[in-house]
């Protein structure tokens, strides 16, 4: 799987598609100051076979996967939504005719396809004529494609034929230029395409009714989070910065909402899906914690005068944390390629698709019960004595605030959600400081045993201690603001 992924290339594709009739005359780009010249290329034939699951799971998310021959970019192409008019295209070489979908491309969308087979769902043949638009300086600006299309759904769909135009920017994201060029196509009689892709047009008659919108605020909120989880899953597989952290946050949001709304989802407090979410967050946490420590130590060391940075402390703290991140990421990816992970995603989708249980009255009750957890944890923290007990008590406040935040956000109560988020963030900084101080103590002992200078470890420990004090100092005020917001809601 790794070797296949190494051969992949990625680029951002910014384009617009237009529907035209057979008699339409290609537009002229004369008179546009941005266009210096237009160069027409000989037409060529493209043949593409598109792959998807039996239920068209990729198409439902506006993702296309094809093997295309002919033209200058023959190969495997996976196109992923990347905002208005934009898609990220991941490419791999053609390989053998019967080689099947490359492992690297399948892995990118594994959270969607899971263990379902990917097989041909459509064949599209395109006779393409291309005009390349260049700026006054000779740099390529955009590509205009005039396509005659013949297509059929597989295995036995009827042939469809049509003509369409495509306008794609080359190496840029100048939306103003795209608008000006698009106006020339519209002036020539084109209309914005009714379908987002050729495949969507081919499959439109074969697709079933869209999935029903989840009922109830909690079901809708969890459904949205599952979509986010799948997005972050893809980013983690590409090792995008901060993606492990965001996937872990999303996992914990889902778990918090399910816990606070068990009756609505028909699950118990010890439900299998809750434990699986907890374990997934724990696995992701190894890489996330290492990433946080690496950045934290790098920033702290860079901020110290050079004379206070002694010994090979960067190697121990920063490089050591980076190695733990790499190991944690590998462990996360193993979990994300397992049948166990697929079953969890299936179960989550099943929960949001099911008929909800208690609703409006239950929503108010879940906010109230979540706040009671925060208040109870705050009282326990006020009574705690030893530092370790105090730290654990504050961590419980943070977990309660997090659940309250997600519950309030799901029900549209932004005031309570914002107040809870403030507490969660404040105590998150405190918890990061607790983890960092523990790690610093361990690394200082290792450095001492290796007869290295340990002075800087003490400096960093003191900085972390001060950060923890700042977090604790602001807690009472934040708790009072939260209490005020909750009381106001009850009136």
Q: How many residues can be counted in the chain?
A: 491
> How far is the C-alpha of 255 from the C-alpha of 231, rounded, in Å?
17
> How far is the C-alpha of 403 from the C-alpha of 397, rounded, in Å?
10
Task: Please check whether residue 224 lies inside any domain of the structure.
Answer: no
Q: Is pLDDT larger for residue 205 or for residue 375?
A: 375
Task: Please check whether residue 332 lies inside any domain of the structure.
Answer: yes
| Range scoring the smallest mean pLDDT among 66-75, 425-434, 454-463, 481-490 | 481-490
476 shares a domain with 383: yes
- In this predicted structure, what is the pLDDT of residue 387? 67
End position of a domain, from candidates 356, 378, 400: 356
Helix (H) / strand (E) containing 140: strand 140-153
- In this predicted structure, what is the pLDDT of residue 205? 53
347 shares a domain with 323: yes
Other CB atoms within 10 A of residue 368 CB = 14
21 shares a domain with 86: yes
Range 162-179 average pLDDT: 93
Task: Please check whether residue 84 lies inside any domain of the structure.
Answer: yes
Residue 43 above 70 pLDDT? yes
> Domain count of the chain?
3
Is the distance from CB of 8 to CB of 90 less than 8 angstroms? yes
Task: Please check whether residue 223 lies inside any domain of the structure.
Answer: no
- In this predicted structure, what is the pLDDT of residue 235? 95
Is the distance from CB of 402 to CB of 256 less than 8 angstroms? yes
Residue 470 above 60 pLDDT? yes
The enclosing domain of 50 has a CATH number of 2.40.320.10
Other CB atoms within 10 A of residue 404 CB = 31
Give me the helix-helix angle, 387-410 and 360-383, nearest 10°: 160
Is the distance from CB of 169 to CB of 15 less than 8 angstroms? yes
253 Cβ contact list (under 8 Å, min separation 6): 225, 406
- In this predicted structure, what is the pLDDT of residue 56? 94
Q: What is the pLDDT of residues 94-136, one digit of tens each?
A: 887 776 899 999 999 999 999 999 999 999 999 999 999 999 9
Partners of 19 in the beta sheet?
Answer: 164, 191
Q: Which two tokens stand for residue 287?
A: 């890489």
Q: Phi/psi zone of residue 75: left (φ > 0), alpha (ψ -120 to 50 degrees), beta?
A: left
> How far is the C-alpha of 329 from the C-alpha of 304, rounded, in Å?
30
End position of a domain, from candidates 338, 356, 374: 356
Q: What is the pLDDT of residues 361-371, one digit of tens each?
A: 445 557 888 88
Q: Is pLDDT larger for residue 364 or for residue 451?
A: 451
pTM for the model: 0.84
154 shares a domain with 11: yes
157 shares a domain with 59: yes
276 shares a domain with 378: no
Residue 208 above 50 pLDDT? no
Tokens 């997934």 sit on residue = 280
- In this predicted structure, what is the pLDDT of residue 210? 53
Task: Please check whether residue 472 lies inside any domain of the structure.
Answer: yes
Q: Phi/psi zone of residue 74: left (φ > 0), alpha (ψ -120 to 50 degrees), beta?
A: beta
Domain that holds residue 31: 2-203
- In this predicted structure, what is the pLDDT of residue 358? 52
> How far is the C-alpha of 87 from the C-alpha of 10, rounded, in Å?
10
Other CB atoms within 10 A of residue 118 CB = 18
Residue 27 above 90 pLDDT? yes
152 shares a domain with 104: yes
Q: How far apart are the first and last CA of the chain?
A: 58
> How far is the C-alpha of 351 from the C-alpha of 216, rounded, in Å?
12
250 shares a domain with 136: no
Distance of CA 8 to the CA centre of its chain: 19
> How far is the C-alpha of 116 from the C-alpha of 52, rounded, in Å?
9
343 shares a domain with 294: yes
Residue 381 above 60 pLDDT? yes
> How far is the C-alpha of 203 from the C-alpha of 154, rounded, in Å?
9
370 shares a domain with 471: yes
Task: Please check whether residue 154 lies inside any domain of the structure.
Answer: yes
Task: Please check whether residue 29 lies inside any domain of the structure.
Answer: yes
Range 346-368 average pLDDT: 72
Helix (H) / strand (E) containing 326: helix 320-336
End position of a domain, from candidates 307, 326, 356: 356
Task: Please check whether residue 341 lies inside any domain of the structure.
Answer: yes
142 shares a domain with 193: yes
Q: Is pLDDT larger for residue 408 or for residue 362?
A: 408
31 shares a domain with 170: yes
Tokens 């006779």 sit on residue = 127
> How far is the C-alpha of 274 from the C-alpha of 222, rounded, in Å?
13
Is the distance from CB of 199 to CB of 59 less than 8 angstroms? yes
Question: What is the share, in percent, of the chain residues with pLDDT greater than 90?
Answer: 69
């Amino acid at each position: 799987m790794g070797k296949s992924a190494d051969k992949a290339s990625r680029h951002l594709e910014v384009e617009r598609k237009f529907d035209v009739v057979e008699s339409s005359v290609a537009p002229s780009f004369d008179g546009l100051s941005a266009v210096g010249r237009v160069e027409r290329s000989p037409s060529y034939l493209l043949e593409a076979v598109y792959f998807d699951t039996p239920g068209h799971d990729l198409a439902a998310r506006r993702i296309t996967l094809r093997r295309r021959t002919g033209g200058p970019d023959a190969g495997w192409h996976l196109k992923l939504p990347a905002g208005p008019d934009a898609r990220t295209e991941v490419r791999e070489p053609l390989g053998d005719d019967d080689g099947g979908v490359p492992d690297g491309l399948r892995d990118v969308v594994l959270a969607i396809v899971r263990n379902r087979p990917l097989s041909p769902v459509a064949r599209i043949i395109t006779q393409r004529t291309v005009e390349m638009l260049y700026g006054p300086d000779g740099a390529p600006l955009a590509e205009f494609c005039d396509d005659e299309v013949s297509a059929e759904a597989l295995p036995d769909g009827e042939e469809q034929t049509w003509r369409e135009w495509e306008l794609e920017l080359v190496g840029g994201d100048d939306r103003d230029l795209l608008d000006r060029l698009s106006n020339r196509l519209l002036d020539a009689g084109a209309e914005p395409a009714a379908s987002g892709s050729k495949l969507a047009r081919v499959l439109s008659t074969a697709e079933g009714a869209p999935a029903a919108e989840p009922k109830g605020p909690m079901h809708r909120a969890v459904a949205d989070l599952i979509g986010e989880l799948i997005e972050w899953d893809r980013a983690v597989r590409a090792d995008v910065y901060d993606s492990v952290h965001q996937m872990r946050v999303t996992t914990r949001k889902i778990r918090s909402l399910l816990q606070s709304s068990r009756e609505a989802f028909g699950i118990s407090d010890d439900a299998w899906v809750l434990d699986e979410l907890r374990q997934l967050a724990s696995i992701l946490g190894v890489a996330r914690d290492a990433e946080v420590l690496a950045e934290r130590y790098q920033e702290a060391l860079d901020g110290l005068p050079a004379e206070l940075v002694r010994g090979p402390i960067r190697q121990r703290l920063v490089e050591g944390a980076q190695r733990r991140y790499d190991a944690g990421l590998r462990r996360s990816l193993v979990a994300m390629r397992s049948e166990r992970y697929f079953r969890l995603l299936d179960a989550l989708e099943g929960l949001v698709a099911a008929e909800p249980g208690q609703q409006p009255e239950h929503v108010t009750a879940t906010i109230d019960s979540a706040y009671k957890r925060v208040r109870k944890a705050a009282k326990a923290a006020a009574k705690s004595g030893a530092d370790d007990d105090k730290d654990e008590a504050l961590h419980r406040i943070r977990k309660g605030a997090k659940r309250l935040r997600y519950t309030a956000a799901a029900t549209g109560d932004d005031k309570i959600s914002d107040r809870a988020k403030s507490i969660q963030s404040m105590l998150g900084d405190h918890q990061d400081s607790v983890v960092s101080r523990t790690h610093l103590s361990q690394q200082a002992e290792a450095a001492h045993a290796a007869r290295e200078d340990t002075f800087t470890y003490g400096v960093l420990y003191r900085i972390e201690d001060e950060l923890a004090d700042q977090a604790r100092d602001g807690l009472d005020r934040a708790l009072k603001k939260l209490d005020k917001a909750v009381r106001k809601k009850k009136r």
